[in-house]
Structure 1
Amino acid sequence: MSDNRIIRVGISVGDLNGVGIELILKTFEDKRMYDLCTPVVYASDKVISFYKKQLKFNYPINFIANAEGIEEGKLNVIKVWEEMVELQPGTPTQISGQKAFESLAAATESLNKDEIDVLLTAPISKDNIQSEEFSFPGHTEYLESKIDGESLMILMSNDIKVGLVTGHIPVTEVSKTLNKDLICKKIDIMYQSLLQDFGVSKPKIAVLGLNPHCGDHGVIGKEDDELIRPILEEYQEGGKLVYGPYAADGFFGNRSYLKFDAVISMYHDQGLVGFKAISFGEGVNFTAGLSKVRVSPDHGTAFDVAGKGVANTSSFQEALYKGISIIKKRKEYQNLTANTLKTKK
């Protein structure tokens, strides 16, 4: 990130027939946003103009061919494709999925070139985006294949951060996938992210168990006692505040998450059902562990309201704010650790 420019937030538009472009246009109608960042959207002038007219937005947009044309104080749109495509707001199509991928691929390339500082991804349809070029269960896995580092999906709000040991896999595969190396890797990524991305000096992390009631001492499964608990004891012996395992239902139900900086969940719905019950509409999806910063809203394409002008921008805007905050915290951390005095041997 250059010290001489306002933070650039690159935005992939998601499924063209979803709410992504509406969220972008609504968000940057507010001129105050340009004091926080310079938005760079990856799409086409024709698609943006279609939604701009349909949703009756009148502010000017800077349509450009590449990053050299980016201007501060404006909504910049890099033209990823030239041709007009058929748009059917509310209905996922093959072409809307294909262009969602083209937008994502172009934005990711710009991120790796440091043309933008943060990537904000609007929602995709995980079905119609599938192709020879995109054979991933979601954004997180695609980005991990393109950006240095190993990823951890974190859903977060002001009250809670939940990271997932296993992500987009069937429930039948969860226990087969879990092992010491994987669990430790995800805990370590969360720990480092709390340090560098959120400024937590001494992270305190809760780890959820796998089975109901954490297995009830082996009656409902042995993974909690034989796999998870010994791992957490090793962390504690090493001086790290990593505790558990906790039964997920009681942990969320009695608001124990408020006592911790973050929570590690063993599988997708175990963590995200609790998270979304607490923070839906205000949550942010953050891909930790990578060398670049990527955020997104915590909801999907919302085809049921697409094109109607009623999409709620709260989560999208919160993702924008969190992305800007994380890149600033990460830079502060890098400066601090780079200037640490080395102890003489």
Structure 2
Amino acid sequence: MMKRAENIIVGISIGDLNGIGSEVVLKTFEDNRMLELCTPVIFANVKILSFIKKNLGATTALHGIDRLDQVVLGKINVLNLWKEGVDLNLGVNDEKVGAYAITSFVAATNALKEGLVDVLVTAPINKYNIQSEAFSFPGHTDYLDQELEGNALMLMVQDNLRVGLLTDHIPLSQVASHLTEELITRKVATVKKALIQDFSINNPKIAVLGLNPHCGDGGVIGKEEDAVLKPTLKKIFEKGTLVFGPFAADGFFGSSQYQNYDAILAVYHDQGLIPFKTLSFGKGVNFTAGLDKIRTSPDHGTAYEIAGKNQADHNSFKEAVYLALDVYRSRMEYQEISKAPLKLKEK
């Protein structure tokens, strides 16, 4: 049975407290209508958020709790993960503050795994100051890939524009060596499943970009397209998936070719994210596709340069909440219709 909207519990990891994460979270839920769509639980500390709220002049009403069984529907719940005060220096990269960001993220992930929250929305972290012996991951996605079931894939979403990555947080010099038939086949399958179950697209069309300029120009500029991409995509297509490419990346977005497809797979990080953010910055959402649980985040970072100045645009974070709720409902509906139909009784 589908939950009522306000019963959907949205877990929120607070991100880097010296960045704009707290600001965009508080601004998102200043609109009381958001509480008709879900009940937020912020994993942080109510005193520190009250301090930040006062500094911003925000009016968001916060409800502090010490356990998740104390969540009150229709309120902005703040789960107190720590008691001590935190010395903030807004706009500064601080390892101690980074440790609190990971405390929040790990606790929120555990709650997601245990079904105590329905979806997870993560505020931005600093990938440098979160590193420690206990946490040595490049970012949210890599940790979630370890902790949750499935194969994580970064899918950037804004309305009907969806851009995924074959490789994400690896050096550019290593991209070609990672490009294998197994990787391409798995990533295409992950995107296809996400489009069907999370976006309700029954027979999705997927485009894949090439690695080299002009897709290698027949091997003159590079051989990966002819050696790996083309034969792999041909095999996948012949098995029934509507996958097309590889396409030369330089003109694919400028020519509006992307509008003909339900999702695009870029070969490496900047190849996909530069055009995506150019087209949709401030409204885009990072969705971790391919996992058994739902996680989204805004399309921006900590933005230290404007932290504490009440200048942060919260629309991307709000869109991340909206998308998490939409995917949750789509996934619940997909699970309902995918159940084995009742067998007709024989007469």
TM-score if structure 2 supplies the norm length? 0.96
* Corresponding position of 2:3: 3
Contact 2:206 2:265 in 1 (8 A): yes
* Corresponding position of 2:317: 316
* Residue type of the alignment partner of 1:308: K
* Corresponding position of 2:119: 118
Say whether residues 1:256 and 2:249 are aligned partners. no
What is the RMSD computed on CA atoms of the aligned residues? 1.5
Q: Deviations over 1:264-296 (max 9, x none)?
A: 111101111111111111100000011000000
CA distance in 2, matches of 1:266, 1:336: 34
* Corresponding position of 2:181: 180
* Residue type of the alignment partner of 2:311: V
* Corresponding position of 1:232: 233
Long gaps (5+) in structure 2: none
CA distance in 1, matches of 2:203, 2:264: 15
Q: Deviations over 1:71-103 (max 9, x none)?
A: 111100000111001001111211110000000
The correspondence of residues 156-175 of structure 1 with structure 2, limited to 5 A, is: 156-175=157-176
The correspondence of residues 248-327 of structure 1 with structure 2, limited to 5 A, is: 248-327=249-328
* Corresponding position of 1:70: 71
- How far did 1:236 drift? 1.9
CA distance in 2, matches of 1:312, 1:342: 53
CA distance in 2, matches of 1:16, 1:197: 31
Contact 2:145 2:152 in 1 (8 A): yes
* Residue type of the alignment partner of 1:33: M
- How far did 1:339 drift? 3.7
How many matched pairs?
344
* Corresponding position of 2:90: 89
Where do 4+ consecutive residues of structure 1 move more than 2 Å? 1-5, 57-60, 339-343
- What is the SS of the residue equivalent to 1:78? strand
* Corresponding position of 2:26: 25
CA distance in 2, matches of 1:16, 1:166: 29
> How has the CA–CA distance of structure 1 residues 13 and 19 changed in structure 2, closer, same or farther, with 3 Å as cutoff?
same
- What is the SS of the residue equivalent to 1:190? helix
CA distance in 1, matches of 2:15, 2:283: 19
- How far did 1:159 drift? 3.4
> How has the CA–CA distance of structure 1 residues 199 and 267 changed in structure 2, closer, same or farther, with 3 Å as cutoff?
same
* Corresponding position of 1:202: 203
% identical equivalent positions? 50
CA distance in 2, matches of 1:255, 1:302: 30
The correspondence of residues 98-109 of structure 1 with structure 2, limited to 5 A, is: 98-109=99-110
> How has the CA–CA distance of structure 1 residues 234 and 129 changed in structure 2, closer, same or farther, with 3 Å as cutoff?
same
* Corresponding position of 1:212: 213
* Residue type of the alignment partner of 1:43: A
Q: Deviations over 1:274-326 (max 9, x none)?
A: 11111111100000011000000000001111111111011001111000000
* Corresponding position of 1:58: 59
* Corresponding position of 1:247: 248
